[in-house]
């Protein structure tokens, strides 16, 4: 029996020492998050397309390594859709369509993954992508998914920011301002300091546009 206890203890110790080997999807998601944040908020605009393309290749490998992970699917979609935005033009549409499919797969696996991020990301695609016959953009679906994201994470910075941005584009400046100010009050996300700072900068820029529009 003592030998059994020693064996269990040695296995537990090995697992702790080999933490990265056992991290799995969580570690891969963190790597994608960090890469995305650095490109989005610290890389010059003229270099972002190439850097997002590189990150997209890495995220495709992570998908193969983590089949069925809603978290990885969500971040793969975020990387792919952001790459599409940096690329621009008709050629970018296939990437946003792929991102849409990844988010739909993530919702089918776990709709609450990453605090409902699939809802928010899908909603943001629906209001930013052109409508038929060019793309799949749909304002009604955008509002539906953005509200679902808010229902899961009502105080989060991203759900409030994207809903505020949607309302701004819709012309509802008063409610847009309300959600954007709520986004500014969102609690800090552990390990996401760069993303939080970058997002707050975007929120302040949008609030400045709203203030100008109200004059």
Task: Calculate mean pLDDT across residues 208-215.
Answer: 86
Query: Are residues 206 and 164 in contact, defined by beta-carbon separation less than 8 angstroms?
Result: yes
Query: Residue 76 and residue 98: Cα distance in Å, rounded?
Result: 10
Query: Residue 117 and residue 104: Cα distance in Å, rounded?
Result: 11
% of the chain residues with pLDDT over 90: 82
pLDDT at 101 (0 to 100): 98
pLDDT at 175 (0 to 100): 97
Query: Are residues 157 and 183 in contact, defined by beta-carbon separation less than 8 angstroms?
Result: yes
Measured in Å, how far apart are the chain's first and last C-alpha atoms?
A: 79
Of 10, 7, 62, 8, the closest CA to residue 33 belongs to 62
Take residue 161 and report the two structure tokens written for it: 């920011």
- Mean pLDDT for all residues in the chain: 89
Take residue 79 and report the two structure tokens written for it: 């990387």
User: For residue range 38-80, what is the model confidence (pLDDT) as tens digits?
Assistant: 999 999 999 999 999 999 999 999 999 998 999 999 999 999 9
pLDDT at 215 (0 to 100): 57
Asked whether the predicted pLDDT for residue 17 surpasses 60, the reply is no
User: For residue range 30-39, what is the model confidence (pLDDT) as tens digits?
Assistant: 999 999 999 9
Asked whether the predicted pLDDT for residue 22 surpasses 90, the reply is no
pLDDT at 11 (0 to 100): 29
Residues with Cβ within 8 Å of 33's Cβ and at least 6 positions away in sequence, in order, are 75, 191, 192, 195
Of 145, 137, 141, the closest CA to residue 111 belongs to 145
Query: Are residues 78 and 114 in contact, defined by beta-carbon separation less than 8 angstroms?
Result: no
Take residue 100 and report the two structure tokens written for it: 């849409």
* Residue 135 DSSP code: S
Confidence of residue 24 (pLDDT cuts 50, 70, 90): low
Highest mean predicted confidence (pLDDT) among 27-36, 83-92, 128-137, 157-166? 157-166
pLDDT at 214 (0 to 100): 74
Task: Calculate mean pLDDT across residues 78-104.
Answer: 96
């Amino acid at each position: 029996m003592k030998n059994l206890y020693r064996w269990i203890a040695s296995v537990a110790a090995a697992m702790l020492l080999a933490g990265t080997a056992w991290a799995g999807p969580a570690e891969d998601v963190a790597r994608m998050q960090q890469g995305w944040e650095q490109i989005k908020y610290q890389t010059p605009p003229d270099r972002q397309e190439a850097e997002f393309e590189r990150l997209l290749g890495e995220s495709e490998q992570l998908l193969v390594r983590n089949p069925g992970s809603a978290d990885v699917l969500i971040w793969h979609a975020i990387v792919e859709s952001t790459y599409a935005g940096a690329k621009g033009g008709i050629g970018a549409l296939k990437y946003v369509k792929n991102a849409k499919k990844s988010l739909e797969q993530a919702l089918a696996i776990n709709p609450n993954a990453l605090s409902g991020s699939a809802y928010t990301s899908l909603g943001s695609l629906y209001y930013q992508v052109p409508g038929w016959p060019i793309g799949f953009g749909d304002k009604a679906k955008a509002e539906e998914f953005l509200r679902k994201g808010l229902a899961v994470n009502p105080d989060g910075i991203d759900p409030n920011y994207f809903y505020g941005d949607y309302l701004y584009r819709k012309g509802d400046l008063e409610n847009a301002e309300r959600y954007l100010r709520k986004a500014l009050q969102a609690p800090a996300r552990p390990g996401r300091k760069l993303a939080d700072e970058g997002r707050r900068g975007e929120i302040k820029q949008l609030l400045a546009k709203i203030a100008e529009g109200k004059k």
